[in-house]
């Protein structure tokens, strides 16, 4: 009984450690990715709109990195593709551009938000995992009190205090995950909004002609 209970409390602690490690890794990586993408997009937008010709802009898009550069590459690829009658390449320039941009946006959005689900999951479940460990520990403490028949403060307080550690760890793992989830979602939304702006402008610029 004692063995099982302590191993379950330990197990919940280990799971929480795993949660915490995973969520913090995602947090660091996401911060780095968002910061880098925001900078790349800013630079790309500036250079793109300063380009003197569409050819220059295309050249720039081929070399640049970032979300908007990738969208632009997709757009230019659509424009270059010969209309061979396949459905994929049918329709007006505007239609084809819109289709390419939408696909590109969705793909980028998916990759931007990947990992955020892990943060949401950790934020939602870590407290419960901790609580589970604590409840199990307390349950065992009460059982052993029942067996020994003595209910001194020392018998009760020690094991319960130890079991509460699991709840503390659960909260410690959940709080940064929830905060980072909200932050990451906002950053991703901002990046997507910028991409949408760029895509709209791009379509307006090149749809006619």
Partner 1 sequence: MSEYRVRLTALMIVLAVHAGIWRHLAVERESQPVFLPPATVSVTMESAPRPMAEPPPEPSPGPAMPPESWLPPLPQSLSSSAVFPDAAVERARDELADAEPHAASAPAAIEPPPAHAAPSAPLAVEAPIESPRFDAAYLNNPKPKYPRLLEQRGIGGRVLVRAEVQPDGRCGQVRLIQSSGFKLFDDAALAAVKDWRFVPARRGGQAVSAWVDVPIIFKPENAS
Residues that bind partner 1 (CB under 8 A): 17, 20-21, 24-25, 28-29, 32-33, 148, 150, 152-155, 157-158
Residue placing its CB nearer to partner 1 in the complex, 51 or 155 = 155
Rg of the chain taking only CA atoms, in angstroms: 27
Q: How far is the CB of 109 from partner 1 (least distance, A)?
A: 18
Closest CB to partner 1 among residues 31, 79: 31
Distance of closest approach, residue 33 Cβ to partner 1, in angstroms: 7
Nearer to partner 1, 154 or 209 (CB): 154
Residue 70 to residues 6, 44, 123, 149, 207: CA-CA distances in angstroms?
Answer: 53, 10, 32, 71, 18
Taking the complex as a whole, the smallest distance from the CB of residue 46 to partner 1 amounts, in Å, to 23
Q: Which is nearer to partner 1, 21 or 54 (CB)?
A: 21
Q: Give 91 or 158: the residue with its C-beta nearer to partner 1.
A: 158
Nearest CA to 27 out of 175, 131, 130, 166 is that of: 175
Compute the distance between CA of residue 164 and CA of residue 160 in angstroms, rounded to an integer. Answer: 6
Whether 40 and 63 have beta carbons less than 8 Å apart is answered as: no
Neighbouring residues of 203: CB distance < 8 A, sequence distance ≥ 6: 75, 94, 97, 98, 101
Taking the complex as a whole, the smallest distance from the CB of residue 86 to partner 1 amounts, in Å, to 34
CB atoms within 10 A of CB 152: 9
What is the nearest approach in angstroms of partner 1 to the Cβ of residue 36?
A: 9
**Smallest separation, CB 177 to partner 1 (Å):** 13
CA angle 82, 87, 89 (to 5 degrees): 25
Give the nearer residue to partner 1 in terms of CB position, either 121 or 176: 176
Dihedral sign, CA of 6, 7, 12, 17?
A: positive
């Amino acid at each position: 009984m004692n063995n099982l209970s302590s191993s379950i409390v330990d197990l919940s602690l280990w799971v929480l450690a795993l949660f915490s490690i995973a969520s913090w890794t995602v947090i660091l990586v996401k911060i780095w990715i968002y910061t880098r993408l925001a900078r790349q997009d800013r630079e790309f937008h500036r250079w793109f709109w300063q380009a003197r010709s569409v050819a220059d802009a295309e050249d720039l898009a081929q070399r640049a990195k970032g979300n908007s550069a990738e969208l632009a590459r997709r757009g230019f690829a659509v424009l270059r593709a010969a209309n061979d009658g396949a459905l994929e390449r049918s329709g007006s320039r505007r239609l084809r551009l819109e289709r390419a941009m939408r696909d590109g946006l969705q793909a980028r959005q998916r990759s931007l938000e990947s990992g955020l689900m892990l943060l949401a999951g950790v934020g939602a479940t870590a407290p419960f995992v901790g609580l589970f460990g604590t409840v199990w520990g307390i349950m065992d403490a009460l059982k052993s009190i029942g067996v020994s028949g003595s209910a001194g403060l020392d018998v009760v307080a020690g094991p319960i205090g130890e079991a509460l550690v699991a709840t503390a760890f659960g909260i410690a793992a959940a709080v940064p995950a929830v905060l980072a989830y909200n932050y990451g979602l906002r950053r991703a939304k901002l990046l997507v909004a910028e991409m949408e702006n760029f895509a709209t402008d791009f379509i307006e610029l090149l749809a006619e002609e």
